Structure 1
Amino acid sequence: MEAGTDVDVCTKWSETLRVYHNTSCELENELQAKHDLGLSEFEVLLILGRACGEQAGYKARMKDIEAEMYLSQSALSRTVTRLEKAGLVTRAACDFDRRANFLMLTPSGLERFEAAKPTHRAVLVKHLTDPAASARAETCA
């Protein structure tokens, strides 16, 4: 398979950036307006939801969450602090390793996550299944 020309590659990169920008802006706006969640906060709940599922009391290691996130360690810590203040997650220290921290989804965190999932999915479907739609979508200011 032959590599594309510089113009083709640059055009593809620009399109990728437009799709990312339009999608992330709409996700941020919709999640905030409908569920009082920022995109990063939803992403933490998503990771916890996958890790914890319906298992009450299951804890996910912060290091594992950090590995899946696009945030720096300090930005993730601030995001988790906001979620904790909202009562959506709880932090716990590891009993056998004081350096490790765990996060647990609270019942209200699971409820908010479940309520926000359809909004998240609808925006992703809108932007990622019809490339023409994402080109027409308005960008956020």
Structure 2
Amino acid sequence: MAAWRSFLRAHARVTRSLEADLIAEQRLSLAAYDVLLQLAESPDYRLRMTELADAVLLSRSGVTRLVDRLERAGLVRRSRVDTDGRGVMAVLTGHGLERLRTATETHLTGVVRYFSSQLARYQLTVLGDTCEKLAEGKIPAPSGDVDPATITTADSGG
């Protein structure tokens, strides 16, 4: 449990710091930056709203509200899906791409400051490999020999 709690504290600290820098320097939240980045990395700078919600790990209503704000700022626009009358795409605008390019410098500076400069190269490699396994779901399921309710911090080894 100690490793889990440390992971959560570290994630919270780093993301709070990255967001504070983006807001102070770019007047852009970390979630808004992530939406712009996901759209920039997508074919034709567009994603269905449901795909965008999955990509940025926001609820559908959360991504809808965020896209509303980004649309009012001229950073994205909505477009109907040609093959599906109900489907809606979020599309990155030219202005949105420029804002993303400017904000990326702030974001990457923060990633170095709050994350990568704090760890040795081998630590980054191990952490990257571990997080990739967790993200891909490559960790095998428990064998059933251990009841999770009986694990204490001392038992968990972390």
TM-score range, shorter chain: 0.7 to 0.9
Unaligned runs of 5+ in 1: 1-9, 133-141
Contact 1:84/1:90 (<8 A) preserved: yes
Structure 1 residue 60: Cα displacement: 2.0
Q: Distance in 2 between matches of 1:91 and 1:112?
A: 18
- Structure 2 Cα separation of the partners of residues 102 and 72 of structure 1: 16
Partner of 1:114: 101
1:95 pairs, out of 44, 60, 82, with 82
- Aligned to 1:71, the other structure's residue is in SS state coil
- TM norm structure 2: 0.70
Counterpart for residue 138 of structure 1: none
- Deviating more after overlay: 121-130 vs 86-95: 121-130
Of structures 1 and 2, the one scoring higher in RCO (CA 8 A, sep 6+) is 1
Structure 2 residue corresponding to 1:42, chosen from 30, 33, 41: 33
1:19–1:127 CA contact under 8 A, matched in 2: no
Q: Does 1:67 align with 2:54?
A: yes
Q: CA deviation at 1:108?
A: 0.8
TM-score normalized by the length of structure 1? 0.77
- State which structure, 1 or 2, has the greater radius of gyration over its C-alpha atoms: 2
Correspondence for 2:4: 13
Cα distance between partner residues in 2 of 1:73 and 1:60: 13
What is the aligned-residue identity percentage?
Answer: 36
Considering only aligned residues, what root-mean-square deviation do their CA atoms show, in Å? 1.7
Query: How many angstroms does 1:131 deviate by?
Result: 4.8
SS of structure 2 residue aligned to 1:93: strand
